[in-house]
Amino acid sequence: MAPLAGDFSLLRGEPPLEYLARANQLQAQGKDMVRFEIGQPDFDTPENVKNVAREALKEGFTHYVPSLGIPELIEAIRDDIEKTRGFRPDKKQVMVLPGAKPGIFFGLMTTVAMGDEVIYQNPFYFQYDSLIGYMGARKVEIPLYEKDEFRVTPEQIQEKITGDTKLILLNSPQNPTGGVLKKGDVEAIAEMAEENDAYILSDEIYSKMLYDGEKHHSPAYLDQCRERTIIVDGFSKAYSMTGWRLGYMIAPEEIIHKTHNLFADVASCTTSFVQKGGVEALKNGQGFVDHIMEHFTRRREAVVKGLNEVPGFSCIYPKGAFYAFPNIKETGMSSEELANHMIQEGVCLLPGTAFGSQGEGYLRLSYARSVEEINKGIEKMKTAMEKVL
Ligand SMILES: Cc1ncc(COP(=O)(O)O)c(C=O)c1O
């Protein structure tokens, strides 16, 4: 048989699911568990969004729609990009997809060939590493450091960028660390990409989830996604719509054209009535985003303060998203040992190493939980550490 298109042995799957399954099993056996493993907001999807989708179903909006997305949603996305990124993409630069993840997939598939260099950060969102490996691209990893608040610096990229660099993958706010890129750094990186004729794939799924007055800065400011920048964003996080599967990419026309053809072969279109919900979220969802960010701000305070009281832990404030990434080096245990110990003690979280080698010495907690649950989890962690230190 001829070789398959990619190396399937390099696909990573979803590491949190393994911990989730173990926590479910312990819970089923009657163990009281506090769950910090999964990266999804615990709020219901806003009622107005659900109502619009219900209405669309009632009206029979249940058939194939254009592969690029319904015109109403494309317009709403253009409006939102204009408001949040300061430029209005052309209609031909927008493609609706079933989530941000397909945007990452198609962004890589349409730009990177086997052997091309891709620069990305470690720790990373696992999908990146999985797909870059699968595609046979050359991995150029840049370590993120706590001393830099887990921000990649332009100097680090300058050191690694070469004529063979095809794409730089950015993610700000970042999963798993909550790191947020600064304006000057984003600008320097965008300029470097231009000088070296590299693409930038910018995963901006957490761009509406910022703290401390931080602002989102997209590398698309330079080319407005006309030449080299691909923005990927979606509805899962800020509008609590993970199960709806809805996202989009803004990209140069030729990349949209290729994605369009490939996506038509894969799935024909994104679910029709779901897209109507997306229009409502973008048009009338800011109140909801503000509401959940008020909660996340209180939760962030509880989780960071609490983690700093756990023996052997220290934790900086994440600037965006809803993940805490505490340093556990003082405990003398590895990330995996500690995550395994915690799960036995009734706290499910992830080892930093689920997100790459640079995650050693750290844990990741998704604080999409009530303050009460966070406090309960912290108490369990303190007890758990007293047993081993
Ligand atoms: C950085 C990052 N990108 C993309 C996604 C996936 O988003 P979606 O549900 O829109 O596919 C996630 C989800 O955890 C994420 O953390």
Q: Residue 74 has what pLDDT?
A: 98
**Cα 100 to ligand 1 centroid, rounded to whole Å:** 6
Q: What size, in residues, is the chain? A: 389
Residue to probe by mutation, ligand 1, list 205, 241, 246, 365, most atoms within 8 Å of CB: 205
* Ligand 1 contacts CB of residue 177 (under 6 A): no
User: Closest by alpha carbon to 157, among 170, 172, 176, 173?
Assistant: 170
Pocket lining: 218 vs ligand 1, CB cutoff 6 Å: no
Please give the Cα distance from 77 to 73 (Å, whole number): 6
CA of 259 from ligand 1 middle (Å) equals 19
Answer yes or no: is the C-beta of 205 below 6 A from any ligand 1 atom: yes
From 31, 43, 36, 32, select the one nearest 20 (Cα to Cα): 36
Q: What does the pLDDT read at residue 11?
A: 86
Q: Is 242 in the pocket of ligand 1 (CB under 6 A)?
A: yes
The answer, yes or no, to whether any atom of ligand 1 lies below 6 A from the CB of 141, is no
Q: Is the CB of 80 under 6 A from ligand 1?
A: no
In this structure, what DSSP letter does residue 262 have? H
Q: Is 123 in the pocket of ligand 1 (CB under 6 A)?
A: no
pLDDT (tens place) for every residue of the chain, 389 residues total = 565 678 888 888 887 888 889 999 999 999 999 999 999 999 999 999 999 999 999 999 999 999 999 999 999 999 999 999 999 999 999 999 999 999 999 999 999 999 999 999 999 999 999 999 999 999 999 999 999 999 999 999 999 999 999 999 999 999 999 999 999 999 999 999 999 999 999 999 999 999 999 999 999 999 999 999 999 999 999 999 999 999 999 999 999 999 999 999 999 999 999 999 999 999 999 999 999 999 999 999 999 999 999 999 999 999 999 999 999 999 999 999 999 999 999 999 999 999 999 999 999 999 999 999 999 999 999 999 999 98
| Structure confidence at residue 198 (pLDDT) | 98
Delimit the domains of the chain by residue range: 8-45+287-388, 61-284
Residue 358: alpha-carbon gap to chain centroid: 17
Does residue 278 line the site of ligand 1, with CB under 6 A? no
* pLDDT for residue 7: 83
For residue 89, which of 198, 231, 200, 190 has the smallest C-alpha distance?
231
Task: Give the atom of ligand 1 at the shortest distance from the alpha carbon of 174.
Answer: 1
Please name the residue whose Cα sits nearest to atom 14 of ligand 1.
Answer: 39
Which of 177, 219, 181 shows the shortest CA–CA distance to 202? 219
Q: Which residues of 311-333 are buried (b: 16+ CB within 10 A; e: fewer)?
A: ebbebbebbbbbbbbbbbbebeb
8-45+287-388 CATH choice from 3.10.20.600, 3.90.1150.10, 2.40.160.20, 3.40.50.1820? 3.90.1150.10
Q: What per-residue confidence (pLDDT) applies to 3?
A: 59
Ligand 1 atom closest to the CA of 321, numbered from 1: 16
β 117-122/165-171 pair status? parallel
Q: Is 45 in the pocket of ligand 1 (CB under 6 A)?
A: no
Which of 237, 241, 350, 365 best tests ligand 1's pocket when mutated (most atoms within 8 Å of CB)?
A: 237
Query: Is the CB of residue 103 below 6 angstroms from any atom belonging to ligand 1?
Result: no
How many helices (DSSP H) and strands (DSSP E) are in the chain? Answer: 12, 12
| CATH fold for domain 61-284 | Aspartate Aminotransferase; domain 2 (3.40.640)
| Predicted model pTM | 0.97
Determine contact, residues 215/83, Cβ cutoff 8 Å: no
CA 101 to centroid of ligand 1, rounded, Å: 6
